[in-house]
Structure 1
Amino acid sequence: MAGFSQHVPNFVDMAMVAHPSVTVLIDLSEGDGLLYGAGGRHGHGSFVVGLAPGGLRAAGRVGACLQIRLEPVVAAAVLGPSAALGGRVESFEDVWGRGAAAALDALRAAGSWDERFALAADLVRRRAADRPPVDPEVAHTWRTTFGSRGRVRVEALADEVGWSRKRLSARFHAQLGITPKRAARLVRFDRAAHLLAAGLAPAAVAVEGGYADQSHLHREVKAFTGLTPTAVAGAPWLAIDDVAWPGSSPARPPGSAGAARRRMAPHGRAWNRGRTAGADAP
């Protein structure tokens, strides 16, 4: 989890780059707050971002928001089998269902970020305990794909779990909302996007990320974002990852544009595995 706050709630407009997690954004501000849109769908307030959305943007005069990233396997247990949303974005109320309004009110009323993180963690744990987990074979496939940075073949994963490729793809898609092949592409893209944001040249990123060549990288970046690798390298959404999520992103070269944005950002809070740490976040 990460808490984002602005001392002066200016209007922001940001393209959100696809991430290999289901993202929950809780709007803690007064009034209309967050506006969001993707794939021709629009809304305002708190929302849930499925895996690999197309053209997602968030905007508005936002004083504070809480962002929760859920591993897809966990998201399926917390939010139900449709949690990955097939790459869509939906309102938090629609995805969470009964009790959504009470949960939002409690998070807004919390007196500190630490209290808010603890409350959100408890909400997630209780939801997960009440719902069946995904198939162990599906969980293994996702975690192996993520651990290999998307550089494992679906046939090999099917052999590992003892299923046919067809059965694995069908069960994986039914429970996580994405095919194993697209999941591998998403994980590879995420690694490449963060390497680009860290200042590596596209040619080097193509080699490091496991792409056939720089043209292959360009096509994949364009498919996931509609942007060129150069534009993705400067995306604000990626520029804050190394501070909002300590240790999750490649280090930025000193003096890079991303480092400058980081130094100027207002203060927020980050939570990971039961610990809190200071974080700069817009």
Structure 2
Amino acid sequence: MAWEIARPSRMPAVSGVDMAGFRIRGDAPETLHAIPHPAVTIVIEFGDRSFEVRDASGRAHSASLIRGLAGTAAPARVKSLDCVQVRLSPLVAPAILGFPPAELGENIVALEQVWGRAAARLRERLHDAPDWPQRFALVQALLAERSANAFPVDPEVARAWERIMASRGRFRVEDLADELGWTRQRLWSRFGAQIGLTPKRAAKLVRFDHAVHRLVQGHAPARVAADTGYADQSHFTREVREFTGAPPTSAATEPWLTVDDRAWPSTLA
């Protein structure tokens, strides 16, 4: 299977947004897995598509879609796909989506269900655009327009998310409430209502994301487990299985992870 990956020369002006372009071609359909990532994912496909992604309920999706903060890998059958993929921080996602990511949960929904006719128009314009720079400009323009929506996240929730991200999931979430001046119950309630995960689950996802990319880079599972805060290698193995459905050695070869160093360089920072 051949992968062409493009990156915009300039990142979107909207903070908390990243994007990449993909052109995937194969002689026959292959089964891949969309691995969980601490972001809301938008896939805007264009061209002659031949792919199918299944959500947790088993429903198939074969058009532009939005995926919430996922807890498990989504199986995908791919033969050909042209798309711009956007990753949204859950702090900016409410403005761009028009609702908090908590309403998505771990589900996959059709992009047209959220953006209406704007999604179809964007797909048509991406199809007609002659190159990746123009496609990225089209997507960036729509994101900037939608990000003007007033849908603020509580400053305390935003700070909690930023602390979890900065610590790569190793911050003691039990200490967050005291630091923010909230009760633990209020933090868990507001964070869950706006982000869609508990602070503890968010930290677990962020730590996994950092650790699994270390694995892809070629580090031994025992070394990764020790360096990223797991109790031991078996603890790390359990969490990799929980998020990917596979042992560490298999997860490290998943194409959606192995191309990240080209598509999302900041992921590996």
Task: Please give the TM-score of this superposition, normalised by the length of structure 2.
Answer: 0.86
Q: Distance in 2 between matches of 1:70 and 1:16?
A: 16
Q: CA deviation at 1:9?
A: 7.1
Match of 1:236 in 2: 255
Question: Helix, strand or coil: the match of 2:87?
Answer: strand
Q: Residue 192 of structure 1: which of 211, 234, 238 is its match?
A: 211
Query: What is the identity, as a one-letter code, of the residue corresponding to 1:3?
Result: G
Greater displacement, 122-131 / 57-66? 57-66
Q: Residue 229 of structure 2: which of 204, 210, 218 is its match?
A: 210
Q: Distance in 1 between matches of 2:266 and 2:117?
A: 35
Q: Distance in 2 between matches of 1:205 and 1:43?
A: 34
Question: Helix, strand or coil: the match of 1:62?
Answer: strand
Paired residues for 1:238-257 under 5 Å: 238-249=257-268
Q: Residue 33 of structure 2: which of 15, 21, 24 is its match?
A: 15
* Deviation per residue, 1:219-275 (Å, 9 max, x gap): 11111111111111111111000011234326xxxxxxxxxxxxxxxxxxxxxxxxx
Match of 2:62 in 1: 44
Q: CA deviation at 1:20?
A: 0.8
Q: Residue 4 of structure 1: which of 18, 22, 32 is its match?
A: 22
Q: CA deviation at 1:49?
A: 1.6
Match of 1:75 in 2: 93
Q: Is 2:25–2:79's contact at 8 Å kept on the other side of the alignment?
A: no
* Deviation per residue, 1:134-163 (Å, 9 max, x gap): 111111111110110001122221122211
Question: Helix, strand or coil: the match of 1:45?
Answer: coil
Identity over the aligned pairs, expressed in percent?
48
Q: Is 2:26–2:79's contact at 8 Å kept on the other side of the alignment?
A: no
Question: Helix, strand or coil: the match of 1:33?
Answer: strand
Q: CA RMSD in A?
A: 1.8
Q: Are positions 1:62 and 2:76 aligned together?
A: no
Q: Distance in 2 between matches of 1:157 and 1:50?
A: 24
Q: Is 1:27–1:34's contact at 8 Å kept on the other side of the alignment?
A: no
Query: What is the identity, as a one-letter code, of the residue corresponding to 2:93?
Result: A
Match of 2:238 in 1: 219
Match of 1:255 in 2: none
Q: CA deviation at 1:122?
A: 1.4
Q: Is 1:141–1:157's contact at 8 Å kept on the other side of the alignment?
A: yes
Q: CA deviation at 1:68?
A: 0.7
Query: What is the identity, as a one-letter code, of the residue corresponding to 2:52?
Result: L
Query: What is the identity, as a one-letter code, of the residue corresponding to 1:34?
Result: F
Listed as ranges, the gaps of 5+ residues in structure 1 are 251-282
Match of 2:50 in 1: 33
Task: Please give the TM-score of this superposition, normalised by the length of structure 1.
Answer: 0.82
Q: 1:233 to 1:63 in 2, by over 3 A?
A: closer
Question: Helix, strand or coil: the match of 2:152?
Answer: coil
* Deviation per residue, 1:26-84 (Å, 9 max, x gap): 11122x53311021222211111211242302223324111111111111221133435
Query: What is the identity, as a one-letter code, of the residue corresponding to 1:33?
Result: S
Listed as ranges, the gaps of 5+ residues in structure 2 are 1-18
Q: Is 2:122–2:138's contact at 8 Å kept on the other side of the alignment?
A: no
Question: Helix, strand or coil: the match of 1:73?
Answer: coil
Question: Helix, strand or coil: the match of 1:166?
Answer: helix
Q: Are positions 1:150 and 2:169 aligned together?
A: yes
Q: Distance in 1 between matches of 2:185 and 2:75?
A: 34
Q: Is 1:78–1:127's contact at 8 Å kept on the other side of the alignment?
A: yes
* Deviation per residue, 1:113-146 (Å, 9 max, x gap): 1111111111111111023221111111111101
Q: Distance in 1 between matches of 2:193 and 2:53?
A: 26
Q: Is 1:154–1:165's contact at 8 Å kept on the other side of the alignment?
A: no
Q: Is 1:38–1:54's contact at 8 Å kept on the other side of the alignment?
A: no
Q: Is 2:51–2:81's contact at 8 Å kept on the other side of the alignment?
A: no
Match of 2:120 in 1: 101
Paired residues for 1:125-140 under 5 Å: 125-140=144-159
Q: CA deviation at 1:95?
A: 2.9
Question: Helix, strand or coil: the match of 2:222?
Answer: helix
Q: Is 2:32–2:78's contact at 8 Å kept on the other side of the alignment?
A: no
